[in-house]
Amino acid sequence: MIQSACLPCGVRVVTEEMPDARAACIGLWIGAGSAKEEMDQAGISHFIEHMMFKGTETRSAKQIAVDVDDLGASINAFTGKEATCYHIKALSEHFPKAVDILLDMLCNSVFDPVEINKERGVILEEMQMIQDTPDDHIIDLLSQSVLKDSGLAPSIIGTKSSLGRMSRPKMIRYIENHYTRDNIVVSVVGSFDRAALFEQLEWALAPFPEKSLSVPDSDPSPGQRYNSKSKDIGQTHIAIGRQGVSLGSELYYAQAIANDVLGGSMSSRLFQNIREERGLAYSVYSAASSYRRTGMYFIYAGIGCGKEEETLSAIETELSILRREGLDQENIEVVKQRLKSGYVFSLESMNGRMYRLGKNMLLLNRIFTSEEVMADIDAVSLDEVQEICRQIGDFSSYSGVSISRKKLNLKHMMSGMSTTGETQ
């Protein structure tokens, strides 16, 4: 059963107890990601996430690793645009000790300047790894175009310049401003002692500041933008994108249905036409990233050099068909079954359950039961899907980014788009 509660200190906790399970998973969610950062702080949320593993007042970085391994536990963390999450999973009999390790990291990390300098080098290597992986790097570049002028645009990892300016005082100030009781959500799934856990959480989190620093939300600027990068690689990578729906939008599942048909699976139109029938690309897909206030919808293709215009033309054709014809009710019902199957399969993962509960409580301040999710998918109407098809099928609304041996004139190639777009 899923339950939400508020600790006496004000921290929100959402739990799903599974009495027959033999393990439990906990996530400590902070409403601080790259979208909360000022320009000179770019990458600080991610840097702090790394530093939480580098030693506390009573545990060295090595001792954290040893203590986790001795429990047979699994620990990790991630930083996103709107949140940072620290999580650990352990057998139920070891869960209190696992939670103690995680809380020690969150509450007592020392941020040793020597370790900060070492980790700076590690993150610079991580940045280089991303840049050496064009199909990852291009989505970062696309976000900067589609979500320009909003906090969602910059890369989560920051820049070489901003990383060079990171310091212990700057990190401590950021933590004091954003690691606050009103900005923390705890999500827990599995078999655990609820009363004992709540007591443990209250003791550790009550000393945190009460209120977070208010950071005004900024909406992305409208318009189309084109950005082409040259790199000594053997394949051309192209991504086009536009603003999509937010996490709480009534059209969230309608977009998921349209996306599944367009490019979300091996049977999708983009995959079948561009890869299977025409052999233009090894990888081609569409996807969506949804945030609290907005989202990004995008299409990616990794193609052979010289096939760029033909591939873009094929993508434009599929989008035009989607916009003009939409989907019929029979097709929609089939995709609904696929979405529901995917959701049910995701429930087999304890970490996946923890992730859903924590993210929804942090960003939407609510929880969704499995019955509600199924009902929301079933409730999607033909009109809602057709509206989404008209939106994402509008090729002229897309910005474009490419990474290839030679810079491409995307503004010219994407001739169906607005001629008033900016060139970066």
CA atoms of 418 and 24, how far apart (whole Å)? 52
**CB atoms near residue 246 (< 10 Å):** 17
| Of 16, 17, 38, 49, catalytic | 49
CA atoms of 31 and 33, how far apart (whole Å)? 7
The conformation of residue 112, written as its DSSP 8-state character, comes to -
Provide φ and ψ at 328, rounded to 5°. Answer: -90, 165
Which pairs from 212-216 meet CB under 8 Å and 24+ separation? 212/31, 212/32, 212/177, 212/178, 212/180, 212/182, 212/183, 213/177, 213/178, 215/35, 215/36, 215/151
Lookup: tokens for 211 = 């209120």
Look up 49 and say whether it is catalytic: yes
The conformation of residue 55, written as its DSSP 8-state character, comes to B
**CB atoms near residue 329 (< 10 Å):** 10
Provide φ and ψ at 39, rounded to 5°. Answer: -60, -40
Pairing label, strands 225-230, 399-404: parallel
CA atoms of 341 and 28, how far apart (whole Å)? 28
Question: Which H/E stretch holds residue 63?
Answer: helix 61-70
Catalytic positions, written as ranges: 49
